[in-house]
Amino acid sequence: MYFSSALAIPAFLTLANAAVLGKRALSGQATYYGGNVAGGACSFSTYTLPSDIFGTALSDSNWDTSANCGACVSVTGPDGNSITAMIVDECPGCGTNHLDLFPTAFSALATPSTGVIDVSWSYVDCPITTPLQVHNKEGVSAYWFSMQVVNANKAVSTLEVSTDGGSTWQTTTRKDYNFFENESGFGTDTVDVKVTSSAGEVVIVDNVAITAGSVVTAGSNFGS
């Protein structure tokens, strides 16, 4: 790891150490590609980006398994104008602090023919006021659990499940393709779900049916 000052600030931040060091601006470069929400590394197959949030892929140098998925960044271009983008994909082989933006995001910062621009960016809360949602993967059952969180206004840290009305909570494992899983399932067709943000805020979604491909909307988002 490289350090940029006597304060021992990393020259790059993963989402995990950003939480420790605060939302510091990073210097890097940005390019653009075709954009991929449904087929990107975050597997957001059921999700459409809000109209005021752009999309981006994040360098694998900054990638923190799939914990970056759904996190938002504020990106400032060479002319000083800024956009907010959600991380929906990974950019293998991109340099440290590099963002590979969707075309619309790049165009909001610079002329596309420029190709590569210098940017500064930092992790921010997503400007989302509607409730978060949980998405069951295809093939789920009482004996195989796989669920994803979408539309969260903060990065998601953990997803836990209760089968006893919230008296106890069982953990799940976040996979590289951004689903929280329990390979044995929880032995029931309906569960309560507790989603915790990277900031420690909690949203509980009661009585979620384990139904293949279904999406359930929570009553709120983090902090609301």
Q: Rg of the chain over CA atoms, in angstroms?
A: 18
pLDDT for position 16: 63
| Per-residue model confidence (pLDDT) at position 4 | 36
Note the pLDDT of residue 105.
98
pLDDT, tens digit (0-9, with 9 covering 90-100), for 162-215: 999 999 999 999 999 999 999 999 999 999 999 999 999 999 999 999 999 999
- Tell me, yes or no, if the pTM score tops 0.85: yes
CB 134 within 8 A of CB 193: yes
- Cα 102 from Cα 210, distance rounded (Å): 33
Residue 45, CA distances (Å) to 49, 54, 68, 90, 216 in order: 11, 16, 16, 15, 14
Q: Summarize pLDDT for 88-147 with one digit per residue, the tens.
A: 999 999 999 999 999 999 999 999 999 999 999 999 999 999 999 999 999 999 999 999
Whole-angstrom Cα distance, residue 18 to residue 13?
6
